[in-house]
Amino acid sequence: MGVAENLVQIQTRIRSSAESVRRDPESITLVAVSKFQSIDLLWEAYEAGQRHFGESRLQEALPKIEAMPKDVTWHFIGGLQTNKVRKIVEVFDCVHTFCKVAHLTEAEKANGEVTAFIEVNIANEPQKSGLPPEMLDEFAQNLLKLHNVHFHGLMTIGPVVDEVEQMRPYFRELHRLNEKLGLTELSMGMSGDFEVAIQEGASHVRVGSAIFGSRNI
């Protein structure tokens, strides 16, 4: 199947998942993870109605941002390098991966505003980036002091599991932490587990391979 057909299937699954827990499907933002994908494939998705795209590398994203229509919302979903934070804040609409004080210092220098998520290492995996849950309160207070970064919620990339249901406790815990901070948006769930993420409160799901197929690296 092509990109348009895949998007129809994903949207159907999003709607079903949301309705299964009495959520409004329109409250779920599908971020099409377009990293390593060609501009031609992005255009296919755009022409099928997709408006939110996720990129993880600044240099790869810049020509795509230039080529695509201005009504696209661009999400940065990759690990942040401190020396690139300022530029990322200036060219992206939303950054999902703030997790260091150095990121905040650089973001404050940017000429522009951006919405933001804090990346949380919800399973405390040593090989992954993200803020340990126990450091979240202090970091959130620092982020709230910024003038041009608008903090909307938490983000996580869960651990690799054998069964998708094993992700549910991690998503549920992120939802609990989000509510503790008085926030309502959650970036969690990818191609293999976005339905469980929606059932546990995700507002943004990041789906790549289920839309575009395997990455063209």
Q: Which residue in 59, 60, 14, 18 sits closest to 38, CA to CA?
A: 60
What pLDDT was estimated at residue 215?
Answer: 61
pLDDT digits (tens, 9 = 90+) for 11-29: 999 999 999 999 999 999 9
Q: Which residue in 155, 156, 164, 166 sits closest to 191, CA to CA?
A: 164
What pLDDT was estimated at residue 217?
Answer: 46
Superfamily of domain 3-212: Alanine racemase (3.20.20.10)
Query: What are the sequence ranges of the domains in the chain?
Result: 3-212
Which residues of the chain carry a pLDDT beneath 50? 217
3-state DSSP: the chain helix, strand, coil percent, rounded to 5?
45, 20, 35
Per the prediction, the chain carries an average pLDDT of 94
CA dihedral 20, 24, 27, 31 (to 10 degrees): 40
Instruction: Supply 106's token pair.
Output: 């650089």
What pLDDT was estimated at residue 213?
Answer: 85
What pLDDT was estimated at residue 125?
Answer: 87
What pLDDT was estimated at residue 95?
Answer: 97
What pLDDT was estimated at residue 63?
Answer: 98
What pLDDT was estimated at residue 147?
Answer: 86
Burial of 115 (0-12, 13-18, 19+ CB in 10 A): middle
